A and B are shown apart, each in its own frame.
Chain A
Amino acid sequence: MSSESRSSVLTRRQLLAAGSASALTASSGCIQRLRSILNRDSGTTASLEILTVPSDNDELATKIANEIAENLESVGIDISVEYLPYVELHREVLINGNFEMFVGQMPVGPDPDSMRGLLHSLFAEERGWQNPYNYTDLTLNELLADQQRRSGSERVAAVGDVLDHVVREQPFVTIGHLQSIRAVNSDAFTGWDRFEDAQSPLTYVGLETTDGTRADSLKIAVTDTRVTRNFNPLSVEYRREGTFTGLVYDPLVYRDGSETLNWLAADVAWEQDDGSTVATVTLRPDLEWHDETPLTAEDVAFTYEFLQDTSLGENTVGVPTPRFRGRTNVVAGTEVVDDETVRFEFGETARQVAERAFTAPLLPEHIWREKSADVDVSGGDSSAGLTEALVWENTEEPVGSGPLRVEDIAPAEVVEMSRYENHFLHRDSSPPHQEWVGDGLAFDRFEIQTAPSDETAIEVLSGGSIDATSATVKPGVVPRIGQDSNLSLIVQGWRHPYHVGYNTEVYPFSNPHMRRLVARLVDKSYIAQTIFEGYGEAASNPFDGTAWNPDSLAFEEADPEVPFIGDGGDVEVDAARAAFRERGFAFDENGNLILR
């Protein structure tokens, strides 16, 4: 779609030029005139498309997209909504870049440096969650680089500048944060909200049984069946937060809020070496992968090399991973000191930012090295630049190092995991982080069952055959949870905001005015009230509501930069059209927006 509209614009311009030039020659003038008139008529009214998922996947996204489409239509923009299941949507948006705008959640981490991965022009050519908006802006690049090397209050100010710029330019429209909602069986486990990040794999690691003994199993229901079809932590189409793959693929460190938990790393020593940040990571002793191969410093170094380029240098342009890219590209070099020690160089990067790199999952070299081979698959738009690592399903006994190991995966049905007794949490009598995760997992088996809808999941939970739903269920089922006195509701803050992503590379959203005008047709407070049903808040940017957000950017009553033109979800059509005209747009006699 994008390339089509672009090339048709070019053709039309060329034709117009040719038309006026040949108007002097009488012989062909008539035909040229006809052609340019016909051409002009065919392309005048704007026709846009919003991509989102069907309500089976994410009812809130479907509702938001419908709401926005309705508002745009009322102003005179011909708009249609295309509903694609998660995997197809992600393939179109994140891999093929085949979209104008989409509605969904933005996987933005708690550290504002994640904006670098989402918006730095360095990533515009790459596939995946790194700069899916194809946004290129030199000023923003500088601001992002600035926050990357600063720390303390200087970094807060630098982040403020980034957010300021993002809000002004609107490469995407941040709609608001939804709270994480989960229903649990009150009698089984406690400690569901111990971690600030409700999506953290640690949520499951930190659970305790109500009676203090180890339970036989923890069973939860998910409505998103992708985890049963693909267990590859690098598969961008199949991962949301990677909570469940996170339980199997351990990182070096976990971060939660302001806390850092050394995980596979026993110790991380930071130093400044000639202006460059350097970290020496010492692994915990005697680590092993689930297949009993030792986990060594070589695996760690391999992981970071592999995430930079999954072809390991075989492909001339490189095939970076579509996930974890922003956080790991700060690694300038690794050096294996001995079996348990790796030295990381980060160049000019603040420690706080550099540390994000350690939250990426570690991959066993003996399994993943051969996944660097090229594949020939029709799913991507060209076979060149696609490695096995990015398309591998990894559902046959995935080998990780986490506290849980996968026993069996039945597509669309269930993922069964069991406690990995050789994990460092389970080996020692007094494991680290006891205040966070006790003695490790409080259950022997973990089952992720699929349910066709949140309503069904609640029914199954009421029936007693599972212990909890996954986070998050939609706000609409909260009354159902309340009806069963055996169930508890766990509500937590959540960082992944809903947003409208634009393809800023392609007209009309290459025009910042168009982006801002469409943003002004999104009634964020109305969406927070009616679609989030009060379980969320409108936001001006992904960090609205955190300490990083400058006061001037706080969403209060209305958006500070792109306030809604209208009230209570209804657009004031005349005022909206006036705003479009003011920015150089025009409407035809039927009231339809004209785009070139």
Chain B
Amino acid sequence: MLADLLFDVTVVVSIMVAIGLLAFVGIDGIRAFRGFAVDQLRQVFPYLVLLGGVLLVNNYVREFGPGLSWIIGWNITGTIMALEGNLIGIIQGFAHPWLTIYFSYVYIYGYVFMLVFPIVVYLLHRKNRPIREVALAYALNYGIGVICYLLFIALGPRNTLVADGLLYTHWPESQLLTSEVNANVNVFPSLHASVSATVAILAYRWRDIYRWWFPVAVVGALSVSLSTMYLGIHWATDVAFGVVLAGFSVGAAIWMTRPVRLETRLGRIGVGLRRPLDRRLQFVLVQVLPNHDLEPSTPSARNTSRIETTIVSTILGFWTAVYALLGVAMLTGSYQTLTASEGVLSVPLIGGRGPPLGYFVLAFAVALAIALFGISHRRDWGWWGGMSLTVVHMLGALWVLLITQTTRFAAVVMAGLAVYAIMALWDEQGAFSVRVEVPELPRPQRPL
């Protein structure tokens, strides 16, 4: 049931992201990304790694945090209640079934969309500062948020029955998801409020890039913040502090990404730290993929021999078959018998959660098939194959990461595969045999 819900969330959010991309970036904008994707990813990669690291730590801490909190923490439930009295009860006085449905969806789907969309949408823009700011601001939000969760013990309004837990009475399954992600003593501050406010503030800052995203982000942020209170999950105090945290995080992210920073001592250290990593990666790529010049603009795969193509397509073909078979087996349920015996394959995740996972595995197979087709027939399909592999793997990793407790191993594998896929993209022309130079589409350049 949790797996079904996670699957729903992944699908719904993916569709929302796709619609958002079409609306705010447009087909041309997405295609234009091909021209600078490698450069962009190389620039932004460390920031995304940092964000991923913070999220992983966050996950660990939320798990063992409550126990530690009771030893070192400060129980502020009473203080918050004394401070704001029955405010949440008053908000719930406006309750209406339609509002409850709206806010429930906003709390679950809307929040995940608000979280994921900026990463995608700013990644697709030629400027790399917005995406770096997003990654840093998120990392700060989650980093500071989790420290607060450790230091403060606070139960939400629904737990003291100052207000009803509308979300969980209206939509009980959703608690399967939220209780996996967070403990009930972690409500101060509201990360729902802080992350969505962060998104809105950054949307305002970069409104010249995506003009219509700004009003949508504001409505989204207000809805998410309001939903946490309306549903009895957070106190107004949590939301207020969340917004303050958002302001601080954005400010700090802007300060950290300003261009002159590279000239400062700290900036030079950062560049210095990065250089060996870049060099190693370059070295690895050269070893793994000969004939490849890492300068992305060079059409390097021109001399790819027929033999290499055969090897690559054989490997890809093998995995395509494996994924396709697994996917079909999971969907039809026969995977249960496959995993009945103890073994690496019987990751606890799979127990009873076969079918939704089956779709993912099939999606891997489809992505691989596209890449394969790109190699043997239509070369420019290779890029799309790589792109879909990356997306599917990242979604898979996100999906598995949410069910952390027993499946961390699988999450790490998935994340590793996503990284591999990104690297393959990086090396687009070699790995997926794209020989065609992508023409750069003219873009209106606005001064920022």
Taking a contact as CB atoms under 8 Å apart, the answer to whether A56 and B1 are in contact is no
> Would you call B160 and A88 a contact (CB within 8 A)?
no
Q: Which of A63, A413, A459 lies in contact with B173, CB distance below 8 A? A: A459
Q: Which of A83, A378, A463 has the most CB of B within 10 A?
A: A83
CB proximity to A under 8 Å, residues B150-182:
155, 158-161, 165, 168-169, 172-173, 175-176, 178-179
Q: Could you tell me if B77 and A83 are in contact, using CB atoms closer than 8 angstroms?
A: yes
Tell me whether B160 and A452 are in contact (CB under 8 A).
Answer: no
Residues of A within 8 A of B168 (CB): 452-453, 455-456
Contacts A54-B155, A453-B175, A456-B168; A63 near B77 (Cβ below 8 A): no
Residues of B within 8 A of A458 (CB): 172
**Cα-based distance from A460 to B70 in the complex (angstroms):** 31
> Is B26 in the interface zone, CB < 8 Å from A?
no
Q: How large is the interface on A (under 10, 10 to 19, 20 to 34, 35 or more residues)?
A: 20 to 34
The one of A62, A413, A459, A465 that contacts B405, using a Cβ cutoff of 8 Å: A413
A411 to B78, CA, bound (A): 29
| A458 to B1 CA separation, bound complex (whole angstroms) | 12
Q: Does B71 contact A (CB under 8 A)?
A: yes
Smallest CB-CB separation from B176: which chain A residue? A456
Question: Are A82 and B77 in contact, CB atoms less than 8 angstroms apart?
Answer: yes
Contact with B along A440-453 (1 / 0, CB 8 A): 00000000000111
Are B165 and A55 closer than 8 Å at their CB atoms? yes
Report the Cα distance A455→B171, complex, angstroms: 9
**A83-B155, A453-B172 known; A465-B1 Cβ under 8 A:** yes
Q: Is A256 among interface residues, defined by CB-CB distance under 8 A?
A: no
> Judging by beta carbons under 8 Å apart, are A63 and B172 in contact?
no
B159→A55 contact, CB < 8 A? yes
Interface assignment of B185: CB less than 8 Å from any CB of chain A: yes
Closest CB in chain A relative to B239 CB, distance in Å: 20
B128 interfacial by beta-carbon distance below 8 Å:
no
A453 vs B168: C-alpha distance in the bound complex, in angstroms? 8
Whether B176 lies near A59 (C-beta < 8 A) is: no
- Which B residues are CB-close (under 8 A) to A85? 185
- The answer to the question of B332 belonging to the interface, with a C-beta cut-off of 8 Å to chain A, is no
Contact present for B161 and A452 (CB under 8 Å) = no
A83 vs B159: C-alpha distance in the bound complex, in angstroms? 8
Main secondary structure of the interface of B (DSSP, over half): helix
Q: A88-B70, A452-B179 are in contact. Are A81 and B160 (CB under 8 A)?
A: yes
B406–A410 CB distance below 8 A: yes
The A/B interface has a contact count, at CB < 8 Å, of 67
Say whether A412 faces chain B, with CB atoms less than 8 Å apart: yes
A83 near B160: Cβ-Cβ < 8 Å: yes
We find that the number of chain B residues with CB closer than 8 angstroms to chain A is: 27
List the B side residues contacting A80 at CB < 8 Å.
78, 82
Q: Which of A68-84 contact B (CB under 8 A)?
A: 80-84
A561 to B248, CA, bound (A): 60
**Cross-chain contact of A456 among B75, B155, B173, B185 (Cβ < 8 A):** B173
A413 touching B406, Cβ below 8 Å:
yes
Are A62 and B176 in contact (CB-based, < 8 A)?
A: no
Instruction: Name which residue of chain B comes closest to A66, CB basis.
Output: B161
For residue B179, which residues in chain A have a CB less than 8 angstroms away from its CB?
A: 452
Cα A54 to Cα B82 in complex, Å, equals: 17
The yes or no answer to B416 lying at the interface (CB within 8 A) is no
Question: What is the bound-complex CA distance between A453 and B406, given in angstroms?
Answer: 20
- Whether B184 is near chain A, meaning CB under 8 Å from some CB there, is yes
- Interface of chain A residues 249 through 302 with chain B (CB within 8 A): none
- Give the nearest-CB partner of B348 in chain A: A410
A480 to B160, CA, bound (A): 23
CA distance A289 to B136 in the complex (A): 56
Q: Which residues of A contact B85 (CB under 8 A)?
A: none
Q: How far is the CB of A386 from chain B (nearest CB, A)?
A: 16
8 Å CB contact of B161 from A59, A82, A413, A456: A59
Q: In whole Å, how far is A476's beta carbon from the nearest beta carbon of chain B? A: 8
Q: Are A62 and B1 in contact (CB under 8 A)?
A: no
Instruction: Given A55-B165, A82-B78, A465-B1, check contact A459 B159 (CB 8 Å).
Output: no
Q: How far is the CA of A85 from the CA of B161 in the complex (A)?
A: 14
**Given A54-B159, A54-B184, A413-B406: A452 and B77 within 8 A (CB)?**
no
A-facing residues in B55-90 (Cβ within 8 Å): 70-71, 75, 77-78, 82
Distance between Cα atoms of A524 and B372 in the complex (Å): 73
Task: List B347-373 residues whose CB lies under 8 Å from chain A.
Answer: 348, 352
Minimum CB–CB distance for B281 against chain A, Å: 38
Closest-CB distance, A513 to chain B (whole angstroms): 28
* Neighbouring B residues of A378 by C-beta, 8 Å: 71
Q: Would you list which residues of chain A between 355 and 412 have a CB under 8 Å from chain B? A: 378, 410-412
Complex partner residue of A56 from B78, B159, B405, CB under 8 angstroms? B159
Taken together as a complex, chains A and B put the C-alpha atoms of A83 and B157 apart, in Å, by 11
| Residue on B nearest A49 in the bound complex, by CB | B78
In the bound complex, what is the Cα–Cα distance between A303 and B139 (angstroms)? 53
Once the chains bind, are A63 and B161 in contact (CB under 8 Å)? yes
Chain A minimum-CB-distance residue to B170: A455
Q: How far is the CB of B369 from chain A (nearest CB, A)?
A: 33
Q: How far is the CA of A295 from the CA of B179 in the complex (A)?
A: 41
| Interface residues as binary, B382-409 with A (CB distance below 8 Å gives 1, 0 otherwise) | 0000000000000000000000011000
The residues of A that contact B159 with a CB separation of less than 8 Å are: 54-56, 62, 83
List chain B residues, Cβ under 8 A from A82: 75, 77-78
Q: Which residue of A lies closest to B2 (CB)?
A: A460
The answer to whether B405 touches A455, judged by C-beta atoms less than 8 angstroms apart, is: no
- Which of B77, B82, B161, B176 is within 8 Å of A55, CB to CB? B161
Q: Which of A431-486 contact B (CB under 8 A)?
A: 451-453, 455-456, 458-460, 463, 465
CA distance A66 to B161 in the complex (A): 8
Residues on the B chain within 8 Å of A54, using CB: 155, 159-160, 184
Q: Which residues of B contact A465 (CB under 8 A)?
A: 1, 352
Counting chain A CB atoms within 10 Å of each CB, the highest count among B172, B179, B185 belongs to B172
The distance in angstroms between the C-alpha atoms of A166 and B215, with both chains bound, is: 66
Point out which of B159, B185, B348 has the most chain A C-beta atoms below 10 A from its C-beta: B159
CB neighbours (8 Å) of A451 from chain B are: 176
A411 to B173, CA, bound (A): 20
Q: Given the known inter-chain contacts A413-B405, A455-B168, please indicate yes or no for A460 contacting B175, CB distance below 8 A.
A: no
**Which of the listed residues B168, B178, B352 has the most CB atoms from chain A within 10 Å of its own CB?**
B168
Question: Which among A55, A411, A412, A456 is the interface contact of B160 at CB below 8 angstroms?
Answer: A55
State how many angstroms separate the Cβ of A99 from the closest Cβ of chain B: 14
CA distance A56 to B187 in the complex (A): 14
Whether A452 and B405, one on each chain, are in contact in the complex, defined by CB atoms closer than 8 angstroms, is no
> Which residues between 130 and 150 of chain A lie within 8 Å of chain B, taking CB atoms?
none
* Contacting residues, chain A, for B75 (C-beta < 8 A): 82, 84
- The CA of A82 and the CA of B348, in the complex, are separated in Å by 38
User: CA–CA, A349 to B68, complex, Å?
Assistant: 46
A438 to B1, CA, bound (A): 34
Q: Bound complex: CA of A88 vs CA of B1, how far in Å?
A: 31
B1 touches A463 (CB 8 A): yes
A278 to B75, CA, bound (A): 52
Interface pair A459/B172, CB less than 8 Å apart: yes
Contact present for A460 and B1 (CB under 8 Å): yes
Most buried by B among A80, A455, A458, A460: A455
Evaluate contact between B172 and A456: CB separation under 8 angstroms.
yes
Give B74 Cβ to nearest chain A Cβ, in Å. 13
21 residue pairs from A and B, CB less than 8 Å apart: A54-B159, A55-B158, A80-B78, A82-B77, A82-B78, A83-B160, A88-B70, A410-B405, A410-B406, A411-B405, A412-B405, A413-B405, A452-B175, A453-B165, A453-B172, A455-B168, A456-B172, A456-B173, A458-B172, A459-B172, A465-B1
Give 17 new A-B contacts, CB below 8 A, not counting A410-B406, A452-B178: A55-B160, A55-B161, A55-B165, A59-B161, A66-B160, A80-B78, A82-B75, A83-B159, A83-B160, A85-B185, A88-B70, A378-B71, A411-B405, A412-B405, A453-B175, A456-B175, A459-B173
- Top-8 shortest CB links A-B: A455-B172, A54-B159, A452-B179, A452-B175, A456-B172, A459-B172, A54-B155, A456-B175
| Interface positions of B (Cβ within 8 A of A) | 1, 70-71, 75, 77-78, 82, 155, 158-161, 165, 168-169, 172-173, 175-176, 178-179, 184-185, 348, 352, 405-406
